[in-house]
């Protein structure tokens, strides 16, 4: 291949020729043995055709040395943006061939492959950044948290609101007692914005040559290719995504868990529209109860998705409505606090309380440029504390996915022992803590 041949042209010619190649040789970056400058990291991306491309762009002050995606066409624009990066479809080959050069790996694949990719990266000593949710199952979250601790790598989950100034302001309002004791929280989202509550495709489709479907499936069962699954709709399918709660709970449930130091819930109950075991329900509500902790009162948190919303606070005027995209309401015994998705624009209610209270003392350090992605980079370099590590991310993910466990248990209330990681009242529900149908070769 001549240097003058564009990345897009090369990918297109491979697809037309039916060539199953997984790597485009490096032609600028100095060949084998290349070492990044000491103050610049070598970053690789796995799953760069969608949101992962934006994440890589947020880190492109560093050396982007390798890009990996199972769909060569979907990721073509990202490949072109970084012509010096080697291109792969198989993350394992990328690690085998580029492992000595890569410092950190950004992972933005569908939920069901997060764990296997991140585990292998950490096993090889690579720092990892995983888009939310951390994992597809509760068991996987615990395994990744243990692996991050044991290997000592810098490991972050990509729920960017956790690094925002407003998120820290939410914590400071709550912990300064601005609304008194909080015993109830409501969080809602407009998700799903993809198809859910539908039957699986019943017509076989020809898989395009530029897609490696086996790599897309990873640990999931053998399911024939269909455009209903890739590139956009996978979140709504049981075997690949975790539905609206798994998607947006990482942004919305995060803030009350953090501000109130909720820890693990002791009971969880999901009520949802019909679930066919194939596609997540159209709409659901999940009720979490968190026990008293270190003098903090018990807290009830209610989750709403699919267009469902909590009652509008009476303090809002007749011409105001709840943000249809999502938000969180904290109900204290001396007032309320409401904010948008990602913790943005916190507001005390009633308005008089906001006017009288002022600004709480600053207790949480602000993240440089509020950049969650670059916080991970700077933490690897030792320049800044990591905004959120896998210990916290795993606990948050486990909490969210307990709503999925309750749903799969027949919309029944489950009692959770967070220390033992067990459902205590419905032993049969414990099988839903892990994937039961892992394909050969994809076990952690």
User: Where in the chain are all domains bearing CATH 3.30.360.10?
Assistant: 162-366+389-433
Question: Which H or E element spans position 414?
Answer: strand 414-417
In words, the CATH class of domain 7-160 is alpha beta
207-220: per-residue pLDDT in tens? 999 999 999 999 99
pLDDT at 254: 98
Q: Residue range 108-118: average pLDDT?
A: 98
In words, the CATH class of domain 162-366+389-433 is alpha beta
* DSSP secondary structure of 179-238: T--EEEEEEEE----S--S-PPP-S--PPPTTB-HHHHHTTS------TTTTTTGGGGBT
Structure token digits, residue 193: 């914005």
What sign results for the dihedral spanned by CA atoms 414, 416, 422, 424? negative
- Partners of 272 in beta bridges: 284
pTM of the model: 0.90
* DSSP secondary structure of 286-297: EEEEE--BTTBP
User: Where in the chain are all domains bearing CATH 3.40.50.720?
Assistant: 7-160
| 229, 71 contact by CB (below 8 A) | no
| 219, 112 contact by CB (below 8 A) | yes
DSSP class of 161: G
pLDDT at 352: 96
pLDDT at 170: 98
Would you place residue 2 in the very low, low, confident or very high pLDDT band (cuts 50, 70, 90)?
very low
pLDDT at 38: 54
């Amino acid at each position: 291949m001549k240097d003058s041949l564009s990345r897009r042209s090369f990918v297109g010619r491979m697809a037309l020729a039916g060539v199953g190649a997984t790597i485009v040789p490096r032609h600028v970056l100095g060949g084998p043995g290349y070492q990044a400058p000491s103050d610049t990291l070598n970053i690789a991306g796995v799953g760069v055709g969608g949101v992962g491309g934006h994440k890589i762009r947020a880190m492109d002050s560093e050396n982007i040395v390798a890009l990996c995606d199972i769909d060569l066409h979907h990721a073509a624009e990202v490949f072109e943006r970084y012509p010096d990066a080697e291109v792969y479809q198989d993350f394992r080959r990328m690690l085998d061939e580029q492992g000595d050069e890569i410092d950190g790996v950004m992972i933005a694949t569908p939920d069901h492959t997060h764990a296997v990719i991140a585990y292998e990266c950490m096993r090889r000593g690579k720092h990892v950044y995983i888009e939310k949710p951390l994992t597809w199952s509760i068991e996987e979250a615990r395994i990744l948290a243990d692996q991050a601790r044991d290997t000592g790598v810098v490991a972050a989950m990509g729920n960017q609101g956790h690094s925002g100034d407003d998120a820290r302001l939410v914590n400071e309002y709550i912990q300064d007692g601005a609304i008194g004791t909080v015993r109830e929280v409501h969080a809602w989202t407009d998700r799903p914005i993809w198809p859910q509550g539908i039957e699986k495709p019943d017509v076989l489709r020809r898989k395009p040559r530029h897609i490696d479907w086996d790599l897309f499936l990873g640990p999931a069962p053998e399911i024939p290719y269909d455009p209903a699954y890739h590139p956009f709709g996978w979140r709504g399918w049981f075997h690949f995504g975790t539905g609206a709660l798994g998607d947006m709970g990482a942004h919305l449930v995060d803030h009350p868990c953090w501000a109130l130091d909720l820890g693990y819930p002791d009971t969880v109950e999901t009520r949802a529209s019909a679930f066919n075991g194939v596609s997540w329900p159209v709409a659901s509500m999940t009720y979490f109860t968190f026990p008293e902790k270190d003098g903090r009162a018990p807290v009830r948190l209610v989750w709403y998705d699919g267009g469902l919303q909590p009652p509008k606070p009476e303090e809002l005027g007749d011409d105001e409505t709840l943000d249809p995209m999502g938000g969180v309401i904290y109900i204290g015994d001396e007032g309320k606090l409401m904010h948008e998705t990602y913790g943005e624009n916190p507001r005390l209610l009633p308005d008089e309380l906001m006017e009288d209270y002022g600004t709480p003392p600053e207790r949480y350090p602000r993240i440089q440029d509020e950049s969650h992605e670059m916080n991970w980079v700077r933490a690897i370099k030792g320049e800044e504390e990591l905004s959120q590590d896998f210990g916290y991310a795993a606990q948050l993910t486990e909490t969210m996915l307990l709503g999925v466990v309750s749903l799969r248990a027949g919309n029944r209330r489950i009692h959770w022992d967070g220390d033992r990681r067990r459902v205590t009242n419905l032993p049969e529900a414990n099988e839903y803590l892990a994937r039961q149908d892992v394909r050969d070769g994809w076990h952690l």
